[in-house]
Structure 1
Amino acid sequence: MGKLQTLTGGRMASLTSAVARWPGAAAGERRRSGRTSARQWTARVLLPVALFLWLLSLRHVDLAGMRDYGLLQVLPVLFWTAAGLLAVGFCLLLSDRRTAGGWYAGYVLGLIALIHATPTLLYPSLRYSWAWKHVAVTDAVIRHHGSVPHAGKLDIYNQWPGFFDLNAFFLQATGLHSALGYATWTPPVYNAVLLAPLLLLYRTVTRDRRLIWGAAWIYYSCSWVGQDYFAPQAFAFLLFVTLIALVMGQLPTSVLHRTGDSRYIRTGDARSGDIPTGRWPVGRFVLVMVLAAVIISSHPLTPLMLVSALVVLSFPRRNRRVVLPVLAGAVLLTVLWNATVARPYISDNLHDFLDSLLKPDTNVVSGLAALGTAAPGHVVVAWVDRSLSAAVFVLAAVAFLARPWVRRTGLALLVVAPLPVLAANAYGGEMIFRAYLFALPAASLLIAVLLLEQGSRPRLQVLAACPLLLVLLGGLMFGYYGKESANYFTTDEVKAGRFVAATAPPGSTVVSLTSAVPGLYLRYDENPQVEFDQQDLDDRLRLVKDPVKGLEGFLQQASPQQPAYIILSRAQDADIYQTGILPADFMRRMNSALSKDPDYIPVYSTKDAVVYRYQGTKS
């Protein structure tokens, strides 16, 4: 009996010693001392000062001055000062082990507000044409009480309707007239909500607050892709991160902490559920399957990313008891959905999908053919985007090599999981950006481990990391704000779109040069749309050669009862100039040509938008 007590006591002493060496425990001891350092006081002051300066900077911003670099060239020095102070204050928090989680949360939420609420506060209306399109789809679902007939190229939303059905239900339950009222605030609210599953994911790997909040800061500093607007992708991605976090939390390698002598300890109590047992509690498994079902019914791409992530997580034998049941359920639900509800779309596009499997190199670099030259600033923004993305993957790879303990987690597997999907399909030229988006949550924690894992000299460590954090944030600003001249809509542009939606008889054709038109799809189930940036290269060449004759092939059905409406606007001009999809001066040339042709009657005209009506050639 004495020998048993001695052995038990020795093991308990060893465990206590290991836990004491864990940085979180040491930080707890310091916090209990009640002493507040100068760094803490400085960080606490910088947060409200930065937010005040940010709000102050938004009083006078000349949005009309946006060109090559979007918001970057019109935001005042005060805005950049606020962003810098916010980053410096966060670095000060990281340098002090006594920092409470609430201050980390304040800074990360402040960063979200500064980045994502700035356009919302500055712009008079909803930004980004695709957000307007999704508002129109939600309104159409309500009008038709479900599936929208005569949806044309937007019929894909009838086959993945989960996001729109939920919004329609919300609008009808609350009595709101349209999703436009809250869609404007989607980016800041969505990113704030996304913080919860990100923290849940990071806590499955470590309990070190510096690493957890550092990873969250890095995620928001590198998430330049902009898939955070009112869209099925944003909704599905939120559920994807939540589901992966729940799966990661059940893995037998979760919540491992590295001690000072490079050993691993596991904290918690298996009986209370803190330590994963490798088995799914029934309630949690049901929740995971419900999340998977909602994802599968809401977006065509995210289920593929989900299946890919689950496949790579199942590679280690120790994970299979947890991952394989979820993988089997996700595959089964995806197959059932694609074979029933989504069957029309799958059947129509199966050949193209199979063909793309044989062209992985083309999928990675695909994009629209241009007839002009992209704006110099747009080229710079594109290079910064790509450099930031490359830096994220390089830093994550270095972390994998330099921090051996992360190899026992599923982080590296989650980073590479989107790559097979990237090689399989171009997804309209956007797959490379989506792959980056899905890899970013795990990559952010790897970078945080590389830069912020507790060393012998934490202050110097953070001092060295702070410039890199500032550079990452600067890269985000280029990617997120650099294209805003085409994403921003003036009041006159919004009125032009609404004018067409309100006056065009059913069956009228609505024509635009690009999709950068607010309200272009407000009655898409009644009025077919033609966007020339989505047309074949030959069609665009004919249009550039002769704007009037180039239109004729798309307006053959126009009549006095069902005329065609051609919308030319400021945002389209900015879009053309940025991307080079058409010659930079083409908007001016087309407007001049139509104004001189008596068959095209201007029915709406302001400095930012003009609408022509075409009723057919007069005999």
Structure 2
Amino acid sequence: MTRPAAPAPRGVRTDRPPSAGAGAGPRRPSVRALVTRGALPVAMVLWLVSLRHVRLERMDDLGLIEVLPVLFWVALGLLTLGFAVQLRGPRLSHAWSAAYVVGLIAIVHATPSLLHPDVRYSWAWKHVEVVDAFLRHGGPVPRPGWLDIYNQWPGFFAVNGLVLRATGLPSAMGYAHWATPVADVLLIGPLILLYRTITRDWRLVWGAVWIFFSCMWIGQDYFAPQTFGFLLFVTVLAMVLKQLAPVRPPGAPADPPPAGATGAAAVREGWRPTRFLMVLLLVAVLVTSHQLTPLMLIVFLTALSLPRRNRRVVLPVLACAVVLQAVWLATAARPYISANLRSFVAVVASPDANAPTWLTGLGSPAPGQVLLAWVDRGLSAAVVLLAAVALLRRPWTRRTALPYLLIAPMPMPALNSYGGEMIFRAYLFALPAAAMLVSALVLRTGAPARWRWRVRLRAVASFALLLAFLGGLVFGYYGKEMMESFTSREVAATEFLYRTAPAGSLVVTVTNNVPDIDKDYDQHDRVVIAWNQLENRKLLVRDPLAGLDQAVSLAAPPGPVYLVLNRAQTAECYITGVLPADTVPRLEAAVDGSHLFSPVFRNSDAVVYELVDHNAPEIQPHPQQQPQQPRSQQQHGGQP
């Protein structure tokens, strides 16, 4: 009879392989572990080193893509390789997964912040000035001009005002420079919460988070109400889905779902009062902060309420969202709704309302921008197509909320163009669901031992696909950098303007692409010639000085008049084709040769003129005409 082995003493490992001798040293880390732990730090170092060799003055049609060195692309590829390897490892580390996603956000979204000393994108400058104006006036801004829409949706600006008062910062400009990477990092939590309501497979969850940030080329993550609203939107959706019980339909599925895959089906026990009040608070803040996102939330909640088993959870939130939105539109936002009701009805009946801006411009877009448009649309189409294939190839996904979340925003472009941007916004709001579906399709793990070659082939294919996603992303995100960033000399011109221009001045620009041009917007009037009627723009192209004279005379200014021309306005005309590429240089030459305006500030990137002959016959008002904002500005107040 064999004697039982004596129990091992406490502290002695018994899971050592049989071949390991008593004197064997610690096991060496595997190649997979070395790649996982080494790729991230090496990629980040290569990225930071690569930024030292960027020459921004060499940018052309394709923006940053043309000036980023090889090391940058090596860093991005190495980071993707490390993430793909660790995602398929035997043990998934949440810490490493989160670190890789943050690394991706840093490389893609912090690069412009590191390369440019000032805030990127003119709309971000505008939003900073709105926050400052709200602080100066302690609330809504009197005499806001064309920015009156922000008085009617003040939530985002009020929240930032509270942040400034709590921190003691003098202006939001200090953190608006880093708003994009910070906003994206904050979005990781709501995305994980949303995806965990769909599946308990953490590999699919982290894969979906990575794919989301790899395909979000729309650029709606800067310092803006849209960014704030989208963060609230994803959070509310995740909290609603979390209330739906994970009930699997009877019968074994043909395609077994990953471990813990759940369906948004029967209701658990309804809403707890505290959680429901938290959701209502988020919805209320969202309703007061942005025009479009609350409507998108209502559309999504309506789609989620279609299955009867979901209604006990979804309908109370949907009803409250509808009531809050209706009350807000009927009270605080009533002036905007009344002024734009006809245009809302008109765009529904306009099949061409979603045409890109450059299709109706007077110039042609830069050649590189045509390529960029095809790449962006190709990436969007590929993501939606792969998501649709996932619904067919992964039956378990059809028992979740993913089909409703994917399809919900698709009809929106037919209802309102949102300045020609609705089709892109629909993609943005469908992207969280699409990213989860693509993850379920391409990152599926596990296979019989005899099919290991399929696992390896799938791993290589998924890595190539992740690289392709990032390739498409950089085109959309960096392709307009030449017009979306500003030099310190352009900023100096605007600073001089507002140091010297007295209150009541009129500031004229060709386009709105000027840094901080809306500073003290409640004290100055603005004219953007590219936003005037088509006849006025044609006159500017035909005869620059006559077009300028007409723009000033239409405004009938009572005080001083200033004209600001800069490099970024020239770049916008060239990149977008809103006006011929030589419009700004021709106007500058015409003004220099006239007696109407005198230059009061000039450097290599910008010039500021002041009107010196107010009584010239060309400047006299023309009461029969009125300046007109373009359709995109009328519909949503210029909110991009």
TM-score w.r.t. the length of structure 1 is 0.90
User: Aligned residue for 1:606?
Assistant: 603
Q: 2:377 aligns with which of 350, 375, 386?
A: 386
Q: 1:231 aligns with which of 224, 227, 240?
A: 224
Q: 1:76 aligns with which of 69, 72, 89?
A: 69
User: Aligned residue for 2:191?
Assistant: 198
User: Aligned residue for 1:272?
Assistant: none
What is the CA-CA distance between 1:34 and the residue it aligns to? Answer: 9.6
User: Aligned residue for 1:284?
Assistant: 275
Amino acid of the structure 2 residue aligned with 1:383? W
User: Aligned residue for 2:6?
Assistant: none
Gap regions ≥5 residues in structure 2:
1-25, 617-640
Q: Is the 1:558–1:564 contact (alpha carbons within 8 Å) kept by the matching residues of 2?
A: no
Residues 276, 317 of structure 1: CA spacing in aligned structure 2 closer, same or farther, 3 A cutoff? closer
C-alpha distance in 2, partners of 1:441/1:320? 22
What secondary structure sits across from 1:590 in the alignment?
Answer: helix
Residues 538, 316 of structure 1: CA spacing in aligned structure 2 closer, same or farther, 3 A cutoff? same
C-alpha distance in 2, partners of 1:424/1:241? 22
What is the CA-CA distance between 1:262 and the residue it aligns to? Answer: 4.4
C-alpha distance in 2, partners of 1:537/1:88? 51
**Is the aligned partner of 1:362 residue 2:352?**
yes
Structure (1 or 2) with the greater helix fraction: 1
What secondary structure sits across from 2:604 in the alignment?
Answer: coil
What is the CA-CA distance between 1:557 and the residue it aligns to? Answer: 7.9
What secondary structure sits across from 2:377 in the alignment?
Answer: helix
What secondary structure sits across from 1:58 in the alignment?
Answer: helix
Q: Which deviates more, 112-121 or 414-423?
A: 414-423
**Is the aligned partner of 1:412 residue 2:407?**
no
C-alpha distance in 1, partners of 2:38/2:252? 33
Q: Is the 1:604–1:611 contact (alpha carbons within 8 Å) kept by the matching residues of 2?
A: yes
**Is the aligned partner of 1:547 residue 2:544?**
yes
C-alpha distance in 1, partners of 2:121/2:555? 29
Q: Is the 1:250–1:279 contact (alpha carbons within 8 Å) kept by the matching residues of 2?
A: yes
What secondary structure sits across from 1:530 in the alignment?
Answer: strand
Q: 1:118 aligns with which of 95, 102, 111?
A: 111
RMSD, matched Cα: 2.3
Deviations 1:262-284 (A, max 9, x none): 45799699xxxxx9615111111
C-alpha distance in 1, partners of 2:473/2:199? 26
What secondary structure sits across from 1:398 in the alignment?
Answer: helix
Residues 95, 609 of structure 1: CA spacing in aligned structure 2 closer, same or farther, 3 A cutoff? same
User: Aligned residue for 1:522?
Assistant: 519
What secondary structure sits across from 2:52 in the alignment?
Answer: coil
What is the CA-CA distance between 1:486 and the residue it aligns to? Answer: 0.4
Residues 264, 372 of structure 1: CA spacing in aligned structure 2 closer, same or farther, 3 A cutoff? closer
What secondary structure sits across from 1:613 in the alignment?
Answer: strand
What is the CA-CA distance between 1:559 and the residue it aligns to? Answer: 9.4
Q: 1:213 aligns with which of 202, 206, 218?
A: 206
**Is the aligned partner of 1:315 residue 2:306?**
yes
**Is the aligned partner of 1:151 residue 2:144?**
yes
C-alpha distance in 2, partners of 1:242/1:258? 33
Where do 1:4-403 residues align within 5 Å?
36-253=29-246, 262=255, 277-359=268-350, 361-365=351-355, 367=357, 369-403=360-394
Deviations 1:48-100 (A, max 9, x none): 00000000111131111111010000111111110010111111112213121
What is the CA-CA distance between 1:505 and the residue it aligns to? Answer: 1.3
**Is the aligned partner of 1:567 residue 2:553?**
no
Q: 2:487 aligns with which of 477, 486, 490?
A: 490
Q: Which deviates more, 531-540 or 601-610?
A: 531-540
Deviations 1:483-540 (A, max 9, x none): 0000110001011112222211111111111111001100211111112222222111
Deviations 1:401-434 (A, max 9, x none): 1111101111121111112322111111111111
C-alpha distance in 2, partners of 1:224/1:93? 25
C-alpha distance in 2, partners of 1:499/1:96? 58
C-alpha distance in 1, partners of 2:248/2:607? 60
Q: Is the 1:599–1:618 contact (alpha carbons within 8 Å) kept by the matching residues of 2?
A: no
Deviations 1:298-337 (A, max 9, x none): 0010011000000001111111111111100000000010
C-alpha distance in 2, partners of 1:50/1:214? 19
What is the CA-CA distance between 1:561 and the residue it aligns to? Answer: 7.3
Q: Is the 2:199–2:260 contact (alpha carbons within 8 Å) kept by the matching residues of 1?
A: no
Deviations 1:368-400 (A, max 9, x none): 521111100111111111111111110110001
TM-score w.r.t. the length of structure 2 is 0.87
What is the CA-CA distance between 1:161 and the residue it aligns to? Answer: 0.2
Residues 548, 88 of structure 1: CA spacing in aligned structure 2 closer, same or farther, 3 A cutoff? same
**Is the aligned partner of 1:475 residue 2:472?**
yes
Q: 2:419 aligns with which of 425, 428, 439?
A: 428
User: Aligned residue for 1:10?
Assistant: none
Residues 254, 481 of structure 1: CA spacing in aligned structure 2 closer, same or farther, 3 A cutoff? farther
User: Aligned residue for 1:15?
Assistant: none
C-alpha distance in 2, partners of 1:603/1:170? 38
C-alpha distance in 2, partners of 1:563/1:258? 77
Amino acid of the structure 1 residue aligned with 2:490? E
Q: Is the 1:604–1:610 contact (alpha carbons within 8 Å) kept by the matching residues of 2?
A: yes
Amino acid of the structure 2 residue aligned with 1:213? W
Q: Is the 1:129–1:517 contact (alpha carbons within 8 Å) kept by the matching residues of 2?
A: yes
Q: Is the 1:563–1:616 contact (alpha carbons within 8 Å) kept by the matching residues of 2?
A: no
How many residues align structurally?
A: 581
User: Aligned residue for 1:454?
Assistant: 445
What secondary structure sits across from 1:226 in the alignment?
Answer: coil
User: Aligned residue for 2:501?
Assistant: 504
Residues 239, 254 of structure 1: CA spacing in aligned structure 2 closer, same or farther, 3 A cutoff? farther
Gap regions ≥5 residues in structure 1:
1-32, 270-274
C-alpha distance in 2, partners of 1:268/1:440? 20
C-alpha distance in 2, partners of 1:96/1:175? 46
Q: Is the 1:569–1:610 contact (alpha carbons within 8 Å) kept by the matching residues of 2?
A: yes
Q: Which deviates more, 488-497 or 609-618?
A: 609-618
Q: Is the 1:543–1:549 contact (alpha carbons within 8 Å) kept by the matching residues of 2?
A: yes
User: Aligned residue for 1:4?
Assistant: none
C-alpha distance in 1, partners of 2:57/2:394? 48
C-alpha distance in 2, partners of 1:395/1:438? 16
Percent identity reads 53
Residues 591, 36 of structure 1: CA spacing in aligned structure 2 closer, same or farther, 3 A cutoff? same
Amino acid of the structure 1 residue aligned with 2:136? R
Deviations 1:18-51 (A, max 9, x none): xxxxxxxxxxxxxxx9995321221210110000
Residues 467, 256 of structure 1: CA spacing in aligned structure 2 closer, same or farther, 3 A cutoff? farther
User: Aligned residue for 1:442?
Assistant: 433
Q: Is the 1:94–1:210 contact (alpha carbons within 8 Å) kept by the matching residues of 2?
A: yes
Q: Which deviates more, 520-529 or 299-308?
A: 520-529
Q: Is the 1:67–1:485 contact (alpha carbons within 8 Å) kept by the matching residues of 2?
A: yes
Amino acid of the structure 2 residue aligned with 1:581? V
